[in-house]
Structure 1
């Protein structure tokens, strides 16, 4: 996902950001602090006291190249490492009631977008949870909501869908292919059965291979395979086994994720990984994986994302969906205007998640027209967010693009942070060039670098959040 989105506003804000404290250059940075997939994180969101109307939030916003995200919060099993907003199973017709609510929400949101200018979508994604937990007929309805209610032309834009091996059945994949899916991301995590069990992800390699065959047979242009390193019992040899098994399918994309153990997850109740030995193990496996993929004709897009040379991108690259102008539908989705990020409540505990989903399925169309929880994005946060999501890309951030958008220089706005990164050898050319770009070691430490760009206010809000 590219660093500078076409829909990004280019007006300069009134004031420059206040630098946040960074670790001193000599401090040893723990490489795995936080996976920054969105900024600010939902743990920095708070209830909006006036619950602003969406029609007021979107009035005057650019709406001709929006991103559309539909969230399906159901999985057949919850992996031991998962802290996503999802529940196991869907008893008593819950998926039908959820789609009913999604339809009501879509109608309310589309009305709130108004007709004061063109409303068009540049890309779309179905995530979760596991969207393919839905039956084939329910996936048809999901696509109908995106097209009929929201007006997204799924066959004309990049459409990415997440799936698990068990739910990647031929009938579901046929629906997705027919409706224009350009990218299917399969959460494999490991091709070694013992490692899958250690990660509390019961699956057999034979079933994974069969699912991959069905994806290829469906003719979806881009196959992405997710793999995880740092699992208990994983060795360089077993990591190589998973990498080679994935490469045998010549996927257009591969994501390599470090294992995290988060509060209230299955692994958190079984293990306690906090030591530096585990950091070093994960760093070693990351470097082995990176080098192996580069040697096999893949290009590095970010710390996690690798694309096969010559494979055309199907939609934005990693992190660029975190830009202004995003519509999220579903109780686990978030939406972005240029001044506010908003969503529904957030939880990790299964009981809390079930309650939020139940509340969502009974929400009225009128209530869907308001933003209940969120965080305002001022000029400081907008700068931080742009720098963060751009710098974490292997291609880096052209300084001229930042100047055009904000009317200032990133090295003047963030002197302490960039100086600390340069002192650790995380920036190419010490950050003095026309492009701010991470060095290979900087990319390897993306999960340490990202959190250092969080503002003091966001840090405080995240620290005060009570995990539920």
Structure 2
């Protein structure tokens, strides 16, 4: 029986990072209870809404992921309400992977105890940098000492799996300071790490400053694209040397500790997104992908239960997704599986693309396996764009 992943967006933050333009922010605390109300309403109605879209909702849940924002800002009571609502509507397997994103220094003892009680077995800390000045310059509120202390608190509470996020390219970051962050991460002995190259949204505070030439958010001190790429490659090598093996462009894990929830996205398995700016992918009775999303403004979201328009993907769109999502994984794309799903003629449309990418050293093409090279991972967006076919002219 097919299982489901459940993603819940918790958009509340104590402060907004300078580079961030996600649908998150510093909202009134009074909004949080109403937000949980809305999540409960959407959980109760999801099957009837999905039926209207001719999509099926699996009953079995094997992964839950609370992302943000800062889900650790939920009170113990709100955390318990949310998990109780999920368990009322779904059968959550005893061995389900249950992840909560946390900001270092923003996990109260009572909330941590509540997470354990709710079955949370994986924590993802948004550290971004273990160098205090770098973290401060981007609006993070923690220090290195606080981050390491919280890792130990979580471990002592009995939560076995821990991820640490780092960002390469923060203002003022140098190869030496980046190395220090990597050394602190490895020293924390966690089983998963995520490393992202800084992407500055034009509408973020840092993005606007980079465009206008201001100084408040340290825009002149953002490393060059080449320097960021070198830091990313250094991280890939360093983490590999210390047992954290890369399995996706931005993700590294010890054997068996890969994020089962995030793998659903890259392997096109069904997942349900709840909350602000949350995206979902279900399957129709015929097996086609059905995608839908919620809005990204809090007040309209709170005021309008349900909502969201669904769209059934064409076979061509699904094939394009299979390419650019599958190529995110280090194991790459299995051409035999692609032919089995979409037909030899359909996958043959991309043969010239594969030849060009191989000639440019962006992919490795060995037998029926296609994967990104090191250079391809650095230029992944350009590679993925090559798999978007022009719509057929009728």
- TM, length-normalised to structure 2: 0.87
Q: Deviations over 1:171-226 (max 9, x none)?
A: 22222222222321100000111111222323222222222121211221210000
**More strand per residue: 1 or 2?**
2
CA contact (8 A) 2:15 2:139 kept: no
Size of the aligned set, in residue pairs, is 376
2:40 aligns to what? 103
CA contact (8 A) 1:302 1:318 kept: no
Q: Deviations over 1:382-406 (max 9, x none)?
A: 0010111111110112111111211
CA contact (8 A) 1:147 1:153 kept: yes
Q: 1:154 and 1:361 mapped to 2: Cα distance?
A: 30
1:363 aligns to what? 304
Counterpart among 372, 377, 383 of residue 449 in structure 1:
383
- 1:341 CA displacement: 1.4
Q: 1:306 and 1:323 mapped to 2: Cα distance?
A: 20
Q: 2:45 and 2:278 mapped to 1: Cα distance?
A: 15
- Cα root mean square deviation, aligned: 2.6
Counterpart among 151, 154, 160 of residue 221 in structure 1:
160
Question: Greater relative contact order (Cα 8 A, min sep 6): structure 1 or 2?
Answer: 1
Q: Does 1:439 align with 2:376?
A: no
Counterpart among 378, 398, 421 of residue 357 in structure 2:
421
Q: Is the alpha carbon distance of 1:321 and 1:101 closer, same or farther for their aligned partners in structure 2, counting shifts above 3 Å?
A: farther
Q: 2:239 and 2:101 mapped to 1: Cα distance?
A: 22
- 1:230 CA displacement: 0.8
**Helix, strand or coil at the partner of 2:224:** helix
- Structure 2 residue runs of 5 or longer lacking an equivalent are 212-218, 283-287
- TM, length-normalised to structure 1: 0.74
- 1:432 CA displacement: 4.6
Q: 1:405 and 1:98 mapped to 2: Cα distance?
A: 40
1:334 aligns to what? 279
Q: Is the alpha carbon distance of 1:154 and 1:125 closer, same or farther for their aligned partners in structure 2, counting shifts above 3 Å?
A: farther
1:79 aligns to what? 17
Q: 1:245 and 1:435 mapped to 2: Cα distance?
A: 36
- What is the correspondence of 1:387-398 to structure 2 with a 5 Å cutoff? 387-398=323-334
- 1:443 CA displacement: 2.5
Counterpart among 209, 216, 236 of residue 290 in structure 1:
236
Q: Is the alpha carbon distance of 1:207 and 1:259 closer, same or farther for their aligned partners in structure 2, counting shifts above 3 Å?
A: same
Q: Deviations over 1:114-158 (max 9, x none)?
A: 79996222322111212111111111111111111x214164311
- What is the correspondence of 1:225-240 to structure 2 with a 5 Å cutoff? 225-240=164-179
1:19 aligns to what? none
